[in-house]
Chains A and B, each alone.
Chain A
Amino acid sequence: MRIAVLSGKGGTGKTTVSASLAASLESCQYIDCDVEEPNGYIFLKPELYQNISVKVLVPEIDVMKCNGCGKCSKVCQFNAIAVVKRKVLVFPEICHHCGACTIACPNDAIHEIEREIGIVEMNGDETFLHGKLNIGEPISIPIIQELKRHIKKDMPVILDCSPGASCTVVCSIEGCDYCILVTEPTPFGFHDLKIAVQLVRKMEIPFGVVVNKASDASKIIHEFCKNENIEILMEIPFSREIASAYSQGILPTHSSMEWKEKFRELYKKLERGAAK
């Protein structure tokens, strides 16, 4: 079973939930898809042995063959190629690696070369993986795709997604059996949860909600979930102790059997939810 953990926004406890779940199960694969700011390793402390360079194809111009006709820059939808005074300039950072320029060139003057945009690191048995986008690079999707190529079929897989509801999250949750939406009972959390709900509904993936930093003071999430017929899977209380332990890289499941048990219960609920 593939489970994605998302939240609409960072800081709501996605990593707390996904890493705790990973730490509670007998065997599972944890994949940190937040390649801009991966944090799971801080809590799960894997020994990372393998390192794969993630490369994309970007155009290179053969000046001998190029006559500066400008067709390549005209077809490029991302403004990654400009032709100035019949000289071709390539901006590899904004290239989407689609290859349209090579198709468009009438003189066969463009070929593609590999360029590294980040890396994927993993432990020995590939039960922990994360990706790291190089600083200054805007496009992270190829790294997420590389991560997903290593998904195991014989154990539960937990994908810790990046914040938001844009293309990186779409790429991460695609093909998952269940989504956990982590939220907090503040106006911000509530607003972002509604966006995340729209996304998973659009993609038709079964889902449930985990309320982090829960307190009796605010029940806005509960009211919303009740009206929308969404299952609240679990509540994690607003607590200085949990926040303080987290700051040291310690998960609730590290210090208490009770929390471990709660996360195992959570997993059972996910199995039931995905089967529906």
Chain B
Amino acid sequence: MKQVVFISGKGGTGKSTLVSSLSILVKEKVLADCDVDAPNLHILLKGETLKKEDYFGAKEASIDNCSCVKCGVCRDTCRFGAISEDIKIIPMKCEGCGACVLVCPQGAIHLEEVKTGETYVSATNRGTFSHALLDIGAEGSGKLVTEVRKNIYNYKKDEKWVLIDGSPGIGCVVIASITGTDAVVAVAEPTKSGLSDLERVLGVARHFQIPGFVCINKYDLNQEVASQIEDFCKKNNFPVIGKIPFDPSIVKALQEFKTPVEVGNSSVTDRIKSLWARLEEEMEKLDEKK
């Protein structure tokens, strides 16, 4: 199985639209949404839930009021400001590190596992689909991403592709989404901020030595920046494998919960098809090199 992750530096560049289109066009695949903060793929991929589990991805300190003498040592030790003046745990700030447990002279504090989200595996008419939802404001999204990727392998093992919708940014969730995958496809917009984001996110791919490819979405919005992106990619050896035009009808399709492929937008569909063909070619080339 080959794992391809679609990342973008920033949200809103068209990652989920591209992945959901590919979910129709690509055969023999399973799907995962690693944007556990704000997952969107399930909105377009309705299916039947095969498995739903609570996810306990963090710990939180808990103070036993009966034995606590309010000496304040825990508060002075906590580096996250998670213990209030009157010696109460502030859950949103607690990292679950357990330093307070170690210093409490009364043994009044212990760590408790807390639920930080839910994981789902669904059967959809486009293949098995693994995703999750992080609880509001919860910690440990990177670990939850790892769980989403693990879940895929517990269900299916014989498909050719794993298509992964990544999350925005360059931090822990993105690192957890891309480590150990076979390729990343960065979806970029031809804007000044898009170029800046692309450079940073491809820097992460390079840091972890994962082959990177680029798709320029809405490329005709700003031809000048689009060619700056192409120059950057050429110089740094990240092949541009697709260019998709700015098309208001895509937004219209999304408003009806549909991908460009489903509404029969043939020009966009053809572009996405050729992007995938090019990616397959590039992946074969990588295999030959090995």
Contact = CB atoms under 8 A, between A and B. Distances in A.
A267 interface: no
A243 B204 contact: no
B38 A75 contact: no
Contact of B38 (A103, A140, A185, A191): A191
B251 interface: yes
A123 interface: no
Interface residues of B, number: 64
A192 B171 contact: no
Contact of A186 (B13, B167, B222, B251): B251
A99 B101 CA distance: 12
B16 A100 contact: no
B254 A37 contact: no
B136 A165 contact: yes
Interface in B155-196: 167-172, 174-175, 189-194, 196
Contacts of A218: 255
Size class of the contact patch on chain A: 35 or more
Contacts of A99: 77, 79, 99
Interface string B242-254: 0000101001101
Nearest to A202: B136
B102 interface: yes
Contact of B251 (A98, A104, A163, A238): A238
Given A9-B11, A185-B255, A199 B137 contact: yes
Contacts of A213: 251
B269 interface: no
Contacts of A185: 255
Nearest to B96: A77
B234 to A, nearest CB: 20
Contacts of B208: 136
13 contacts: A9-B12, A9-B38, A10-B168, A75-B102, A98-B98, A133-B170, A135-B207, A165-B134, A165-B137, A186-B255, A192-B40, A195-B38, A217-B255
Given A100-B97, A135-B170, 16 more contacts: A8-B38, A9-B12, A10-B10, A12-B12, A37-B193, A135-B204, A164-B37, A165-B134, A166-B134, A167-B137, A170-B137, A187-B257, A202-B136, A217-B252, A218-B255, A220-B255
Interface of A: 8-12, 15, 36-37, 39, 42, 75, 77-78, 96-100, 103-104, 133, 135-140, 162-170, 185-188, 191-192, 195, 198-199, 202-203, 213, 215, 217-218, 220, 238, 240, 243-244, 246-249
